[in-house]
């Protein structure tokens, strides 16, 4: 994620159900991997990856290359 995105955008781009994306984003937010930029918005919340999330994503990508 180079820019903030909505759960709907993630779902469309990944072929996942919106409910699964929303649940994963909540879990990632609880772990400090993503942050919600519009927490008071009910529909169309914007999320972006945190520094910690970027670090972990890079490590996972390294593992996937092996």
Question: Is 51 inside a domain boundary?
Answer: yes
Percentage of the chain exceeding pLDDT 70: 98
pLDDT band at 37 (very low <50, low <70, confident <90, very high): very high
What's the average model confidence in pLDDT over 47-54? 97
**pTM for this entry:** 0.86
Question: Is 60 inside a domain boundary?
Answer: yes
Question: Is 50 inside a domain boundary?
Answer: yes
CA distances, 57 to each of 19, 34, 41, 52, 54 (Å): 22, 11, 27, 9, 5
Question: Is 30 inside a domain boundary?
Answer: yes
Full domain range(s) for residue 41? 7-65
Question: Is 12 inside a domain boundary?
Answer: yes
Question: Is 1 inside a domain boundary?
Answer: no
Distance CA 38, CA 25 (A): 13
Residue 51's SS3 state is helix
Question: Is 41 inside a domain boundary?
Answer: yes
How many structural domains comprise the chain? 1
Distance CA 45, CA 22 (A): 10
Question: Is 18 inside a domain boundary?
Answer: yes
Question: Over the stretch 12-32, which tens digit does the pLDDT of each residue have?
Answer: 999 999 999 999 999 999 999
């Amino acid at each position: 994620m180079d820019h903030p995105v909505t759960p709907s955008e993630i779902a469309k781009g990944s072929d996942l159900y919106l409910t699964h994306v929303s649940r994963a984003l909540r879990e990632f937010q609880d772990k400090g991997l993503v942050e919600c930029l519009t927490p008071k918005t009910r529909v169309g919340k914007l999320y972006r990856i945190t520094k910690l999330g970027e670090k972990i994503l890079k490590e996972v990508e390294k593992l996937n290359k092996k």
